[in-house]
């Protein structure tokens, strides 16, 4: 689904409770009092002229946490609880403060067997997708059958057959093998309103289809040594990733449109009828060369986007998959919809809206035709913290409706409108397609059954300058019998055409032609190709090796000589492809040259450049932001990591000196701070490399490569902290104060309290008796200024009071984006802000001329729930340690007895 982050866990506090308690000094910023009394509205940042209404709180009313919505033919909103039933709401008009009328749908009551008692159960719900169309409610259930809900994952059609305004018929259109946050998701009406589209994440197997716009023979297709996620993620479908299908209203005919996504939740069509989705990242891959940020993708016929397990995700540069139109950055994508029916100014009416659950941002994506595809610019349209966005759409009244919730978080329904919501929407002429778009669509006609004119039509476009046209032409060729076009590949004299045709033949042809195909490709003058053409050529070689097998010795040698002359190449991307092919075919000098690159490789700062910078997200969500902060404090060298993984399978070409240098690299690599799986990937690559070492030398290389530290977590490496024994609880101020008073603060254990201070990683940001970080204030005098109750209140409810010395400032920029950080200093032209608690000295500069406005963030950089892993005794020990100022001789410990000292 949209929640791509691990479940809530104890993570680093950017600033601790003292941020909320210490008096202000230094740079001060006056907080402008909001005129909005409802805090749920006050936290929203809206463009000028827009207004928001808080309509309903499902959680407050015991109605669960809502994640999907649609409007029926009477203008009523229908919503689904992620773990419960369906609800139908009659909403008041804009400006009317009346409460919505809410009713629960499709409930049934029966008698519990063997008793006189009754029970009420949900007949329909657990939905990630809802759509009212064709006088029916389509429901995408995302749930495995259990005792609480008998229906499994799949697409259902719910109807009112007798016209009494109550649904009475439920039909399963297709069961789907997949469930959970990467299961089946949304349902969307086609632009012509005659059919439907459905979308599913990468834990959902593609069912048998009536038609495939792209290939059906999905393979991993990557020579990079496959190391699966060491934490067990993405071991379900392996090859095809998330997918989109086109179906009729009865659910009888299914057509696979695209695949190779990670976990897109929703899709939308613009006014030209082109489809877009918002695909997720894999945050555990953060800091690796195969990490891909969340991204806006245009989804064309037969599209493939290259998501594969573990290390084997495809480069966006490969010709057999399509690139995004815009990289967004870290986040958890949810809803996507088009603003066409909104009573908004034209700019926003023509935007695609994309929701990020993790960081509470609704992006407006502004599209500009660019050949057969689009250029895209992002704008932060609405944001707030916390604002876990789940679903949204434009209502029949022209207002934007959106919901928050998911994972049983607090859920709310909002309405956003422009002016007084009476802006007149003129009937606009249909979008005019570019000539390139027309060519692409004409080629897509051949993405189905073989057609006589397909090869003659598509072949000339294999060398077109537009990547989306080349892609459409190649897919058209692949849909035709190979016998009709194989000979054309070997007779082709144009290099670009031959390369694209070779990609098609490698994917669909017989292994019998592999030597002939490699020999034909080696006749191409490599140096006369552009960089993108060189990458395409290298990909063609790679696919031949993967799909058809290794060539004979003479052809293998010829390929090695051809590629060795080009290695190293002029860019990191070229060297990635060259290194893995040369190592795979065991080419002479492959190890020597790759080791030389490993020693000197530098990352490309603009590689996969994103609209939202990682550092700008740290303070938006202190929980998830801290993972980002940790990585940015010591970023893994991605290009070096790539070479190290490639070399893990190299058997020949090593000297003792090269082996020593290689294995020592791993020891250093364990000190880098990547995503949750980074260390596991590095360790598994190390183990693969060690499997090729002679037994007599294993112990040596195992030791110098870091065996003693390989399995330790980053936190353990950082401070070797004793972890809480628990069991923890969701602490509330009243019960925490009561229990601490009952246990007696003066019976606290100093060493245990110090350990809890480290286990929570407060020491990263705070100094205690000269030890610790500097992002936060010195806590040595905390106990002399504040009571136990004061301290507990600040820990448990960090948003209650935020000091402007340590609170974050939100800078709204004129380009529509925003940046959050702690304002450290400023001059006449520039704001200087600190965003990373692990590197507080690293300041980001913001030009004042680019700033529209500033405000103090209403959200504390310290996450709530910081103490929820601690049991009462551990909490008492932590409080005692804080009050003592890190001094074991402090009076707070005068009541210690032998039992408390020795526990």
CB of 31 within 8 A of CB of 856? yes
CB of 150 within 8 A of CB of 156? no
Query: In this structure, how many other beta carbons lie within 10 angstroms of the beta carbon of residue 193?
Result: 9
Burial 585-608 (b: 16+ CB within 10 A, else e): bbbeebbebbbebbeebebeeeee
- 276 versus 901: the higher-pLDDT residue is 276
Residue 38 Cα distances to 41, 92, 388, angstroms: 5, 18, 18
List phi, psi (to 5°) of 391: -145, 160
Quote the pLDDT of residue 811.
Answer: 87
Full DSSP string of 354-374: EEETTTTEEEEEEEEEETTEE
CB of 857 within 8 A of CB of 809? yes
Extract the tokens encoding 11.
């993570």
Q: What is the mean pLDDT of residues 615-643?
A: 76
The residues facing 354 across adjacent strands are 336, 363
Coil vs helix vs strand at 847 = strand
Residue 133 Cα distances to 164, 176, 196, 224, angstroms: 18, 21, 9, 45
CB of 435 within 8 A of CB of 369? no
Residue 839 and residue 633: Cα distance in Å, rounded?
6
- 736 versus 470: the higher-pLDDT residue is 470
Predicted confidence (pLDDT) per residue in 99-123, tens digit: 999 999 987 766 666 777 666 667 8
Residues 6+ apart with CB under 8 A from 159: 135, 136, 137, 167, 168, 169, 171
Residue 115 and residue 407: Cα distance in Å, rounded?
34
Strand 184-189 and strand 169-175: the pairing is unpaired
Among the listed residues 794, 838, 764, the one whose alpha carbon sits nearest the alpha carbon of residue 22: 794
Query: In this structure, how many other beta carbons lie within 10 angstroms of the beta carbon of residue 253?
Result: 14
Peptide bond preceding 19 in cis form (omega within 30 of 0):
no
754: enclosing H helix or E strand = helix 750-759
Residue 518 and residue 513: Cα distance in Å, rounded?
9
Indicate if the pLDDT at residue 717 is higher than 60.
no
Quote the pLDDT of residue 648.
Answer: 98
For the purposes of burial, counting CB atoms within 10 Å of the CB of 42, is it exposed (0-12), middle (13-18) or buried (19 or more)?
Answer: middle
The sheet with strand 352-356 has its strands ordered as 333-338, 352-356, 361-370, 373-383
Place of tokens 């039933």: 85
Among the listed residues 549, 572, 718, 569, the one whose alpha carbon sits nearest the alpha carbon of residue 637: 572
pLDDT-wise least confident of 213-227, 398-412, 480-494, 717-731: 717-731
CB of 177 within 8 A of CB of 243? no
Quote the pLDDT of residue 803.
Answer: 55
**Helix, strand, coil % over all residues of the chain, rounded to 5:** 30, 20, 45
DSSP 8-class letter at 165: S
Residue 840: band (very low, low, confident or very high) from pLDDT cuts 50, 70, 90: low
CA–chain centroid gap for 505, Å, is 34
Backbone torsion region of residue 868, taken as left when φ is above 0, otherwise alpha when ψ lies between -120 and 50, otherwise beta = alpha
Predicted confidence (pLDDT) per residue in 651-669, tens digit: 999 999 999 999 999 999 9
Question: In terms of residues, how long is the chain?
Answer: 903
List phi, psi (to 5°) of 744: 90, 110
Extract the tokens encoding 470.
């080349």
Place of tokens 């369906």: 86
What angle, 0 to 180 degrees and rounded to 10, lies between the N-to-C axes of helices 590-600 and 656-669? 40
Mean pLDDT of the chain, nearest integer:
87
- 643 versus 116: the higher-pLDDT residue is 643
Dihedral sign for Cα 421, 422, 427, 432, please. Answer: negative
Residues 6+ apart with CB under 8 A from 750: 877, 880, 881, 884, 888, 893
CA–chain centroid gap for 852, Å, is 29
Indicate if the pLDDT at residue 614 is higher than 80.
no
For the purposes of burial, counting CB atoms within 10 Å of the CB of 433, is it exposed (0-12), middle (13-18) or buried (19 or more)?
Answer: middle
Place of tokens 């990468």: 202
Predicted confidence (pLDDT) per residue in 508-566, tens digit: 999 999 999 999 999 999 999 999 999 999 999 999 999 999 999 999 999 999 999 99
Quote the pLDDT of residue 650.
Answer: 98
Tell me the whole-structure pTM to 2 decimals.
0.82
Place of tokens 């209404």: 53
Residue 286 and residue 868: Cα distance in Å, rounded?
26
Peptide bond preceding 143 in cis form (omega within 30 of 0):
no
End-to-end CA separation in angstroms for the chain? 44
Indicate if the pLDDT at residue 242 is higher than 50.
yes
The sheet with strand 843-847 has its strands ordered as 843-847, 830-834, 818-826, 809-813, 851-856
Quote the pLDDT of residue 237.
Answer: 77
Beta strand ranges found along 672-795 (DSSP E): 767-768, 771-772
Residue 597: band (very low, low, confident or very high) from pLDDT cuts 50, 70, 90: very high
**Alpha-carbon radius of gyration of the chain:** 29
CB of 397 within 8 A of CB of 833? no
Indicate if the pLDDT at residue 605 is higher than 60.
yes
Predicted confidence (pLDDT) per residue in 2-46, tens digit: 333 333 333 333 333 333 333 333 333 333 334 577 889 999 999
Coil vs helix vs strand at 411 = coil
Residue 859 and residue 420: Cα distance in Å, rounded?
30
Residue 562 and residue 327: Cα distance in Å, rounded?
35
Residue 737: band (very low, low, confident or very high) from pLDDT cuts 50, 70, 90: confident
Residue 476 and residue 811: Cα distance in Å, rounded?
48
List phi, psi (to 5°) of 743: -75, -30
Among the listed residues 326, 837, 200, 386, the one whose alpha carbon sits nearest the alpha carbon of residue 610: 326
Quote the pLDDT of residue 670.
Answer: 94
Residue 289 and residue 311: Cα distance in Å, rounded?
8
pLDDT-wise least confident of 119-133, 138-152, 426-440, 853-867: 853-867
For the chain, percent of residues with pLDDT exceeding 90? 63
Residues 6+ apart with CB under 8 A from 583: 590, 591, 594, 646, 647, 649, 650
Dihedral sign for Cα 405, 409, 413, 417, please. Answer: negative
List phi, psi (to 5°) of 829: -115, -15
Q: What is the mean pLDDT of residues 726-730?
A: 81
Residue 535 and residue 537: Cα distance in Å, rounded?
5
CA–chain centroid gap for 397, Å, is 32
Quote the pLDDT of residue 878.
Answer: 85
Residue 776 and residue 837: Cα distance in Å, rounded?
8
Extract the tokens encoding 781.
């005098």
Predicted confidence (pLDDT) per residue in 308-341, tens digit: 999 999 999 999 999 999 999 999 999 999 999 9
Extract the tokens encoding 808.
């974050």
Residue 445 and residue 1: Cα distance in Å, rounded?
32
Identity of the highest mean pLDDT range in 15-19, 432-436, 615-619: 432-436
Dihedral sign for Cα 665, 666, 667, 671, please. Answer: positive
Residue 45 and residue 734: Cα distance in Å, rounded?
33
């Amino acid at each position: 689904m949209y929640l791509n982050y691990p479940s809530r866990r104890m993570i680093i506090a950017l600033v601790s409770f003292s941020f909320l308690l210490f008096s202000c000094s230094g740079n001060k910023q006056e907080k402008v009092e909001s005129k909005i009394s409802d805090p749920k509205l006050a936290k929203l940042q809206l463009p000028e002229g827009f207004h928001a209404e808080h309509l309903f709180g499902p959680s407050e009313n015991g109605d669960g946490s809502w994640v999907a919505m649609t409007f029926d033919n009477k203008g009523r909103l229908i919503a689904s609880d992620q773990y419960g039933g369906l609800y139908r709401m009659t909403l008041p008009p804009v400006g009317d403060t009346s409460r919505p009328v809410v009713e629960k749908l499709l409930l049934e009551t029966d008698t519990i067997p063997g008793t006189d008692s009754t029970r009420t159960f949900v007949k329909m719900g657990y939905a990630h997708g809802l759509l009212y169309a064709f006088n029916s409610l389509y429901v995408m259930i995302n749930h495995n059958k259990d005792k609480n809900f008998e229906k499994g994952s799949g697409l259902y059609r719910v109807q009112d057959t007798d016209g009494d305004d109550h649904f009475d018929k439920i039909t399963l259109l297709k069961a789907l093998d997949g469930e959970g946050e990467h299961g089946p998701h949304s349902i969307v009406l086609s632009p012509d309103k005659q059919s439907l589209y459905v979308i599913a994440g990468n834990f959902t197997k593609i069912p048998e289809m009536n038609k495939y716009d792209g290939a059906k023979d999905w393979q991993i297709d990557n020579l990079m040594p496959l190391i699966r996620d060491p934490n067990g993620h993405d071991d379900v479908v392996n090859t095809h990733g998330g997918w989109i299908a086109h179906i009729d209203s009865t659910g009888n005919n299914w057509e696979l449109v695209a695949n190779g996504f990670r976990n897109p939740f929703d899709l939308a069509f613009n006014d030209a009828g082109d489809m877009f989705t918002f695909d997720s990242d894999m945050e555990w891959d953060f800091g690796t060369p195969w990490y891909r940020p969340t991204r806006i993708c245009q989804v064309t016929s037969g599209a493939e986007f290259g998501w594969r397990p573990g290390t084997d995700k495809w480069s966006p540069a490969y010709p057999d998959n399509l690139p995004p139109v815009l990289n967004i950055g870290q986040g958890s994508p949810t809803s996507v919809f088009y603003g066409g029916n909104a009573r908004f100014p034209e700019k926003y009416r023509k935007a695609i809206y994309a929701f990020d659950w993790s960081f509470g941002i609704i992006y407006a994506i502004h599209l500009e035709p660019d050949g057969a595809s689009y250029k895209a610019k992002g704008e932060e349209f609405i944001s707030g913290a916390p604002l876990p966005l789940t679903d949204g759409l434009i209502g029949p009244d022209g207002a934007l409706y959106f919901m928050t919730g998911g994972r049983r978080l607090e859920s709310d329904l909002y309405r956003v409108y422009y002016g007084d919501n009476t802006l007149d929407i003129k009937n606009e002429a249909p979008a005019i397609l570019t000539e390139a778009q027309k060519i692409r669509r004409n080629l897509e006609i051949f993405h189905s059954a073989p057609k006589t004119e397909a090869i003659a039509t598509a072949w000339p476009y294999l060398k077109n300058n537009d990547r989306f046209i080349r892609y459409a032409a190649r897919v058209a060729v692949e849909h035709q019998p190979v016998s009709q076009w194989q000979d054309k590949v070997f007779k082709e004299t144009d290099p670009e055409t031959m390369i694209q045709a070779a990609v098609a033949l490698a994917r669909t042809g017989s292994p019998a032609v592999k030597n002939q195909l490699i020999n034909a490709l080696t006749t191409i003058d490599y140096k006369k190709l552009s960089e993108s053409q060189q990458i395409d050529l290298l990909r063609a070689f790679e696919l031949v090796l993967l799909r058809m097998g290794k060539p004979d010795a003479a052809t293998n040698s010829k390929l090695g000589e051809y590629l060795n002359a080009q290695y190293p190449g002029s860019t990191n991307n070229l060297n990635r492809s060259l290194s893995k092919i040369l190592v795979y075919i065991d080419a002479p000098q492959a190890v020597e040259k790759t080791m030389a690159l490993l020693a000197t490789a530098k990352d490309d700062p603009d590689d996969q450049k994103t609209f939202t910078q990682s550092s700008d997200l740290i303070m938006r969500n202190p929980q998830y932001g801290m993972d980002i902060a940790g990585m940015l404090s010591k970023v893994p060298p991605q290009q070096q990591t790539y070479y190290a993984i490639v070399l893990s399978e190299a058997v020949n070409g090593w000297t003792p000196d090269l082996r020593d240098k290689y294995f020592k690299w791993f020891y250093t690599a364990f000190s880098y701070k990547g995503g949750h799986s980074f260390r596991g990937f590095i360790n598994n690559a190390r183990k693969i490399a060690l499997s090729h070492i002679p037994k007599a030398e294993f112990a040596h290389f195992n030791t110098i490569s870091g065996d003693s530290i390989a399995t330790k977590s980053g936190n353990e490496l950082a401070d070797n902290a004793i972890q809480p024994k628990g069991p923890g609880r969701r602490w509330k101020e009243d019960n925490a104060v009561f229990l601490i008073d009952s246990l007696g603060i003066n019976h606290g254990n100093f060493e245990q309290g110090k350990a809890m201070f480290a286990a929570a990683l407060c020491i990263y940001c705070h100094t205690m008796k000269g030890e610790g970080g500097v992002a936060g204030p010195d806590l040595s005098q905390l106990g002399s200024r504040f009571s136990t109750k004061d301290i507990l209140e600040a820990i448990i409810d960090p948003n209650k009071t935020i000091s402007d010395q340590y609170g974050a400032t939100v800078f709204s920029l004129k380009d529509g984006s925003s940046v959050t950080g702690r304002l450290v200093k400023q001059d006449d032209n520039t704001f200087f802000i600190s965003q990373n608690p692990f590197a507080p000295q690293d300041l980001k500069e913001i030009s004042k001329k680019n700033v529209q406005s500033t405000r103090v963030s209403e959200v504390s950089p310290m996450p709530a729930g910081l103490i929820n892993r601690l049991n009462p005794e551990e909490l008492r020990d932590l409080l005692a340690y804080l009050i003592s100022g890190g001094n074991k001789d402090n009076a707070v410990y005068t009541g210690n007895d032998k039992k408390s000292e020795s526990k």
